[in-house]
Amino acid sequence: MSSGFLVTADGEVFEGRSVGVEGVRVGEAVFNTSMTGYQEVLSDPSYAGQVVVMTSPHIGNYGVSDYDDQAARPAARGLIVRSLSLRHSNWRAEGTLAAYLRSHEMVALADLDTRRLTRHLRDRGAMPVAIGAGVGPEELAVLAAEAPRMEGQDLATGVSTPEPYRFDPDGDPVGRVVAIDLGMKRDIGRRMAGRGLEVHVLPATCTAEDILGLDPTGVFLTNGPGDPEPLEHTIGTVRALLGGVPVFGICLGHQVIGLALGATTFKLPFGHHGGNHPVRRLEDGRVEITAQNHGFAVDLWSLEGRKAPERKGLAGPDLLPQQVTSDFGEVRPTHQNLNDGTLEGLRCLDIPAMSVQYHPEAAPGPHDALGLFDDFLALMGLGTEDC
C-alpha cells in the first residue's frame, strides 16, 4: 500500500499509509472519541464535509454489516485511524472495513499519529485539511489553505432525500410523524417505527403546507451537517409550524428550532463528536452518556440580548439562563453538556416543542437517551409504551 499525507490549513503535515483509494479529499477535520461504531460514523450524513479522525487506536476489528449503514453511502470525506485491523471477527460481519472503504471510493489513512493530530485540533480548533494518497504534501498544503471553513455552508440540503419516503410502523399505527430530512440516520426511523409511528420523511426543501397536508400528529427535525444559519427556508418552515403542531428536533434540528425561536448559534472550537459525552438533565440533575456529532451550538442568552457568563472551573447550570422569552413564548433549557457547559436541550413552555443537541437513537453509542422518543410521544398526546 502507498503512503499518504494529511496537511492542515495551518501547515502541519502528517504522514500515514493509504488504506482506501488513491486521490485527494478536502474537508474539516474533527476527532471522534467513540471506541466502536466506525461504520455508523462514516455513513452518518451529519459528517458530510468532514474528515473523521478516530481517537481509539484500533479500528476495524469487528468488520462491517449492511444493517449498520445509516445512509446509502458514507457521507464523511475521509477517515484517519492509528491502526486498521487487517482481520475481522464478529458473527454479524459481512466484510472488512478496508474493503468497505475501497468499495465506496473513500480516501483513508492508517498508521498516522492520531494522538498528535487530535491534540493539534483540540488546541487550534477544527480546521480544513487535505488528505491524499499518491500526491505529495506540497500539493495538499495548497488545497488545505484554500479550503472553505464550515461556517456559512449549507450541507444539509445536499444530503437530504430528493424524494419523500416512509417508515411503516411495527404493528398498528398510533400516530403519524413527518420528518424534515436534514441528514437523517436510518436508526431514527427504526426507533420511531418501533413505537408504532408512521414516519413520512420529506426533503429539506419541503414547505409547511407540504407537511400539514399529511395531517401529522407531530413533526420531527433530524440531525444533519454544516452551519444551521444558512438554512433560511427550513427555519421559516419551522416558524410556520411552531404552535400549530408538536415539534421535536435533534442535533441540527435542535439548532434550527433555536433559530426559529429567535436565538442565535455559534461555532464550537472543535465540536462534540463521539459516543461518550456526559449531559446533565437540568430538571433532576441526572447525567446521561450520549452520542453526539455537531460543530455548532444554540446561544439562549441571545434571546435576552446578553452574553453568556465566563466559565470558571467545572461547568455548572449557571452558565445557562433559567428561562428566556422567545418569539413563541417562554423557553427553558433542559440539558447541559458537562464538558463545556453549552446548551444540549430546550423546551417551550407555551407551545408543544422541544429539542436536544445529541442523538437519542445513538447508532453508535449508549442508549441512555432513548426515552426522549417516548417524551416525543407524550408531547403528541400519545401513549409511551414501546412497541
Catalytic, out of 198, 200, 251, 272: 251
Q: Which residues neighbour 123 within 8 Å (Cβ) at sequence distance 6 or greater? A: none
Q: Please say if 206 is a catalytic residue.
A: no
Q: Which residues neighbour 148 within 8 Å (Cβ) at sequence distance 6 or greater? A: 128
For strands 329-337 and 343-348, give the pairing.
Answer: antiparallel
Tell me how far apart the alpha carbons of residues 74 and 185 are, in angstroms, rounded to a whole number: 11
Give the start-end residues of each E strand in the chain.
Answer: 3-8, 13-18, 23-32, 50-54, 58-59, 78-80, 83-84, 107-110, 127-133, 165-167, 175-180, 197-202, 218-221, 247-250, 264-281, 287-299, 324-326, 329-337, 343-348, 353-356
Tell me how far apart the alpha carbons of residues 137 and 128 are, in angstroms, rounded to a whole number: 15
Angle value at C-alpha 15, between 10 and 18, nearest 5 degrees: 120
Catalytic, out of 88, 273, 335, 359: 359
| Residue 27, amino acid | G
Tell me how far apart the alpha carbons of residues 320 and 341 are, in angstroms, rounded to a whole number: 8
Hey, which residues does 133 pair with through a beta bridge? 4, 23
Give whole-number Cα distances, 312 to 269, 271, 297, 321, 365, in Å.
17, 20, 19, 16, 30
Q: Please say if 359 is a catalytic residue.
A: yes
Q: Show the cell assigned to 13.
A: 503535515
- Inter-residue contact 222 to 189 (CB < 8 Å): no
Q: Please say if 361 is a catalytic residue.
A: yes
**Active site residue ranges:** 251, 359, 361
